[in-house]
Amino acid sequence: MTIPSPIPRRIAHFDLDTFFVAVERLKDPTLVGQPVLVGGRGPRSVVATASYEARVFGCHSAQPMTQALRLCPQAIVVPPDFASYRTASEGFHAVLREASPLVESVGLDEAYADLTGIGVAADGPREAAEAARRRVRGELGLAVSVGIAGSRTVAKVASDRAKPDGVLDVPVGGDAVFLAPLPLRDLPFLGPRAEERLRAAGVRTLGQLAQLDERWLLATFGSHGLGLARRARGIDPEPVHSDARAAVSVSREVTFGEDVTDLDRLRQVLRAHAEEIGADLRASERRARTVTLKARWPDFTTFTRGATFGQPLQTTEQLSSAGASLLDQLFVQEGRHPVRLIGLGATNLVEDAVQLGFEDGRLLHDQQLDRAIDEIRDRFGNDALWRGLAPRRRWR
């Protein structure tokens, strides 16, 4: 009896090209062909996305906007429109879910899809990827680059190499050969410090990294070093998860345009963070045992404080109160300072299975109020209703 050969694993990484810029150009075609920077104009604003026309001048995402405009003063700065980006993203992911039963979103503009066994011929995965690209282009007006390989790691590297608006299909069994000549910085999860240490040891390419002695890697980088070498050989068994994995935390933070000294304003911002975090927790039917505060002074000194509670939290009032208490503790311990950044996080998440007693009347009231507000916002939009003490994002 002949044992059939296993179907080769084919993972695709889909990545929308300059996503925010592309959406803005759909709204305003005069931006086509122009150097465009999506982001704010404030002294602390950063570039969310730079068009390819702006990148030739050295502009890139996460760069201070002031620096980007020095490099490309003729660039057109467009404020971000996240409602439009979310709508486009939903359409993009809907197309991918029709192409494969196993699709994992890893952001508004990118996703992994398992195309193993798709189609009746060996080139079935590529045909499926090309069909999805055509639909995204035709229905949404957006360009998407795709990498196809035997693992998530190599598919991600391939999609980066396929940009802009291309497909790179790494031959079955050719992942290691494809990676070998590439520079170290192309490997996901290899940070600048690790790259610096590897370069000091004479390592320049992923092929050289793949051949390093595992004992040296273990001694130099710990278990992370072994993982880097395996991925450099194209070995990455992580599957594509068809459903989004449960979040391990939910957080919000904001960097102010000007340092804030007003304690009441800081508490208002924490309350606005609590509004959004609480809504996320309720939507995912989760509660948080731990609340964390993050604060940064103007000199970039950053502090975090946390508190863990016996009864998991979910309501806006609980989260806001916990954040305000942690802020008070921080100021007592470190002294009052102007604040550059403030954030609130909910971690140590558990299922929403808390049983309330007769003594929890206030908590029950808060939960009912939160859910009523959630329903109104779901139906009429996030700006349909705001609590009296919560700022309407003007502090951003």
Residues 158, 188 share a domain: no
Which residue in the list 104, 110, 275, 276 is annotated as catalytic? 110
Q: Looking at the domain assignment, is residue 392 inside a domain?
A: no
Residues 377, 261 share a domain: yes
pLDDT at 257: 82
Confidence tier at 225 by pLDDT (50, 70, 90): confident
Residues 280, 132 share a domain: no
The span from the CA of 128 to the CA of 97, in Å, is 12
Per-residue model confidence as pLDDT tens digits over 302-317? 888 888 887 888 888 9
195 is catalytic: no
Q: Looking at the domain assignment, is residue 390 inside a domain?
A: no
Residues 139, 43 share a domain: yes
Count of structural domains, the chain: 3
Residues 287, 228 share a domain: no
Residues 265, 183 share a domain: no
What CATH number is associated with residue 189?
1.10.150.20
Residues 211, 159 share a domain: no
Q: Please check whether residue 50 is in contact with residue 32, taking contact to mean a CB–CB distance below 8 angstroms.
A: no
Residues 220, 331 share a domain: no
Per-residue model confidence as pLDDT tens digits over 67-100? 999 999 999 999 988 888 889 999 999 999 999 9
DSSP codes of every residue in 161-219: HH-SS-EEEPPTT-HHHHHTTSBGGGSTT--HHHHHHHHHTT--BHHHHHTS-HHHHHH
Per-residue model confidence as pLDDT tens digits over 23-58? 999 999 999 999 999 988 877 788 989 999 999 999
Answer yes or no: pTM beyond 0.75: no
Nearest to 38 by CA among 6, 65, 7: 65
Q: What residue has token string 């070498």?
A: 229
Per-residue model confidence as pLDDT tens digits over 337-391? 999 999 999 988 877 655 444 344 455 556 566 666 666 555 555 554 555 544 4
Q: Looking at the domain assignment, is residue 337 inside a domain?
A: yes
Owning domain of residue 75: 1-170
